[in-house]
Amino acid sequence: MKKGLLLTLLCLLLLTSAVCAEEAGRILIASSDRLTMYLYDDCCRIDIEDALTGRTWSSTMNDETAEGLKIIPAQQKRITSLLAVNCTNLETGLGVVNNISLKAEKELQASYELIENGVRLTYYLGTYQVGVQAELQLDGNSLLVRVPYSGIREDGGFKLVSVDMLPFLFSATDSAEGFFLYPDGCGAIMEFQDNAHYKEPTKLYSVYGDFTRQEALLDMFSQEEPQVMMPVFGMNRGGHGLMAIIEEGAETSRISVNSSNNIIGINYLFASFQYRRSFNDTRVATRDVRVFDKEDIRADYQERILFLEEENPDYSDMACVWRDYLIRTGVLARSPRRATVAIDLFMTTPEKGLLFDTPRTVTTLTQAQEILTSLKALGVENIRASVKGWTRDGYGETPDRFPLSGAIGNDGDLKKLLDTAHGMGATLSLTANFMEAKSNQRGYSQRNDVVYTGNHMILTNLDETVFMLSPDIARDKFGQFLKKAESFPLDAVRFERMGQFTGYNYGSRRYLTAAQTLDLYRGMLDETKAAFGSAEAEGGNACLLGHADFFTDVPYEDFGYQFTTTSVPFYQIALHGLVDYAARPGNLSSDLEREVLRWVEMGYTPFFELTHDNTEELMYTGYQSLFSADYAAWQERVAWAARQFTQGPLAELAGQLMMRHERLSASLVKVTYENGTAVYVNYAHEPVQAGGAEVPAQGWIAVPAGQ
């Protein structure tokens, strides 16, 4: 008996020794009902064990398909580092950025201390005399990753440019099953087994856009930045999913998408927290030399990483997770929604002359009443109208301000138009641009009231005809506008450009960070809602959610990079039923029928920009994109499109959450809503069977739940 007990104890001891050897160097940090976090004693790696899925996620690349993958030692150090530090020498670096992974730093000093449900990690890179802290805490089914500004150290000539946080937590080889999701346009997917991404260059997406790269400031050879509306990215690898939401500091963060190549056969995706921007050195004309901000961005960054419960989650599941997060955190709330059709009424714009400008007016306020009345007679209901080009100098002569252009009418005419709109159940707003200024406009200083970049240059286009106003000046211009606008019973104000980028200003008199600018934008929207009940914005940046009720110019595809496998309506799935959004006007499309199908598929508000007179009047103005808009030629087609959304099954879905979007074939899409209704959209030129019914060629059907 004693001999058997002794043998049993010996076996247990040997087993325990083996386990301890296997776990050597791994320290238990925190645990919850579902997650357990471990830190390795070199402070360069964490593991998260998920009891629900049985999966272990690691900050080190731990994709099972990577077994046997040959990685050179330098890259091995890179993929086994919890973070990477990017720094430059402002005095002698000549714009060169050093990317330093923790394991590659010979003079690394690393330590940790336990905090509530987590750990605080402190790193000091002795070679560069730069230090950084990171805090990791378990919070329910998520991991909070925080990089506080108070933990930044810069003791020598090298200065911090950015921190790449957990660069290989979201990673996979080309053999893995799954995909990356990233916020290019409305959402984009890169499938790991899609060979098209191999050797493609890394892309850094600026969250909420880089306003120095907007179209109005570029020449014909420059490329506009993609629209990045969401601080979200995700991954499905081997049937298990992760998502990341940048909660703090998103306006100065970037999302990095990296494709596999000959040097490192791994795809990886991460958030990069920015501390200094770079600009071209204007003193060097023979080549491009980058200069970096002398002062750093004093931001606290926080990223929430969610461990998804769904088995084999797709982009629809991830969109629903982000939507639930927005509702749970109070950013958005459920409220009754009415199906609408958006109509922009374009008024007047100048035609440039040698000595004088000539106003080219295609709609007056009185004629706008005629347009609305005619559409109402054709059965168009719930119109959300906006007057565009109403200012004294016409559309494009920004910043916009009163008085009204005499070519379109007077204050009394605007009030009559409002009465007409309200009498037919429509709403009316004014479209205004306070962000940009034309060089020929008065009321601002081209030296003191404009944006300066970090190289002390004024932000303008090559011809110096368009300037970006300092955000605080834009706020002042809006305040002057609001005093007059409140005398009209408007229903909203549409802010151009506001939802497309977040600005800043390096001017010595008006230094403003991106975070301060964002506060100004939100304040302008909130003041508008307080005055009129609603606010609208061009673009769809998520930083304005909860402040704007309607967004225009929301893209329904990605920017078109080679590494992207396909675009997906992540944005639309997440926000349908909570906020209204529209794409570009349907009359600017070469194929209205296909445009309407896209609106049906993705839950867009139908949108048109109309004029009373023929748009040939605009041929020699700066507004030539409106090539076909006269309402007499368009009203029947507008009525046909609008009725599909404001009457019938689609009208009933206006306030419904979108639960799933599926591509059943190359030309057939199924969209399922929370009430069980399934909408089938057929892009093919012949009818197909789906949902127990026939979907017409280039048409759609809605199948109620249970049928």
| Per-residue tokens: 118 | 């987590």
- Sequence-distant (≥ 6) Cβ neighbours of residue 623 within 8 angstroms: 346, 349, 389, 395, 396
DSSP state at residue 425: T
- Whole-angstrom Cα distance, residue 329 to residue 524? 22
| Per-residue tokens: 453 | 């970049």
| Per-residue tokens: 636 | 């029947």
Q: Would you tell me how many other CB atoms lie within 10 Å of the CB of residue 677?
A: 18
- Whole-angstrom Cα distance, residue 319 to residue 571? 7
Of residues 257, 84, 101, the one with CA closest to residue 163: 84
SS (H, E, C) 228-256: ECCCEEEEEECCEEEEEEEEECHHHEEEE
- Whole-angstrom Cα distance, residue 279 to residue 294? 12
- Whole-angstrom Cα distance, residue 351 to residue 418? 28
Buried b (16+ CB within 10 A) or exposed e, 193-220: eeeebeebeebebbbbbbbbebebbeee
CATH number of 26-313: 2.70.98
**Three-state DSSP class for 418?**
helix
Residues in the chain: 707
Phi, psi of 646 (to 5 degrees): -95, -5
Residue-by-residue DSSP string for 571-609: HHHHHTTTSEE--S-GGGSS-HHHHHHHHHHHTPPPEEE
What's the chain's Rg over C-alpha atoms? 28
- Sequence-distant (≥ 6) Cβ neighbours of residue 192 within 8 angstroms: 172, 173, 174, 175, 176, 177, 178, 179, 180, 237, 267
Q: What pLDDT is recorded for position 22?
A: 40
- Whole-angstrom Cα distance, residue 87 to residue 292? 10
| Per-residue tokens: 71 | 């990685």
Chain position carrying tokens 């020449």: 219
Q: What pLDDT is recorded for position 510?
A: 85
Q: What pLDDT is recorded for position 287?
A: 63
- Whole-angstrom Cα distance, residue 15 to residue 384? 72
| Per-residue tokens: 416 | 């009559």
Q: What pLDDT is recorded for position 551?
A: 98
| Per-residue tokens: 691 | 């949902």
- Whole-angstrom Cα distance, residue 403 to residue 138? 56
Calculate the alpha carbon distances from 249 to 13, 66, 207, 297, 506 in Å.
50, 33, 10, 10, 18
142-147 and 301-307 as β-strands: parallel, antiparallel, unpaired? antiparallel
Phi, psi of 680 (to 5 degrees): -105, 130
Give me the helix-helix angle, 365-377 and 411-423, nearest 10°. 10
Query: Are the C-beta atoms of residues 488 and 414 closer than 8 Å to each other?
Result: yes
Phi, psi of 212 (to 5 degrees): -75, -10
Label residue 671 exposed, middle or buried (CB < 10 Å: 0-12, 13-18, 19+). Answer: buried
**Three-state DSSP class for 699?**
strand
Helical (H) or strand (E) element with 26: strand 26-31
Q: What pLDDT is recorded for position 281?
A: 67
Residue-by-residue DSSP string for 356-385: --EEEES--HHHHHHHHHHHHHTT--SEEE
Domain with CATH 2.70.98 in the chain: 26-313
- Whole-angstrom Cα distance, residue 182 to residue 235? 9
**Three-state DSSP class for 21?**
helix
CATH class of 341-663: alpha beta
Helical (H) or strand (E) element with 190: strand 188-191
Of residues 509, 393, 501, 517, the one with CA closest to residue 445: 509
Q: What pLDDT is recorded for position 24?
A: 61
Q: What pLDDT is recorded for position 475?
A: 97
Chain position carrying tokens 């560069």: 128
Phi, psi of 259 (to 5 degrees): -95, 155
Label residue 116 exposed, middle or buried (CB < 10 Å: 0-12, 13-18, 19+). Answer: exposed
Domain with CATH 3.20.20.80 in the chain: 341-663
- Whole-angstrom Cα distance, residue 385 to residue 429? 6
- Whole-angstrom Cα distance, residue 513 to residue 522? 14
In this prediction the pTM is 0.94
From first CA to last CA, the distance across the chain in angstroms is 70
Of residues 288, 280, 205, 298, the one with CA closest to residue 454: 280
Q: What pLDDT is recorded for position 5?
A: 39
- Whole-angstrom Cα distance, residue 199 to residue 462? 34
- For the chain (707 residues), the mean pLDDT of every run of 10, in chain order, is 39 35 76 96 96 94 72 82 95 87 95 97 97 97 97 96 97 95 98 96 94 75 83 97 98 97 91 93 64 92 96 97 98 94 97 87 98 96 97 94 96 98 97 94 91 89 91 97 97 96 89 96 98 97 98 95 97 98 95 96 98 94 91 96 94 97 97 97 97 95 88
Calculate the alpha carbon distances from 505 to 225, 437, 648 in Å.
19, 15, 49
Helical (H) or strand (E) element with 281: none
Give me the helix-helix angle, 471-485 and 514-532, nearest 10°. 10
592: left (phi over 0), alpha (psi -120 to 50) or beta: alpha
| Per-residue tokens: 413 | 């005419």
**Three-state DSSP class for 329?**
coil
- Sequence-distant (≥ 6) Cβ neighbours of residue 17 within 8 angstroms: none
Residue-by-residue DSSP string for 74-102: HHHHHHT-SEEEEEEETTTSTT--EEEEG
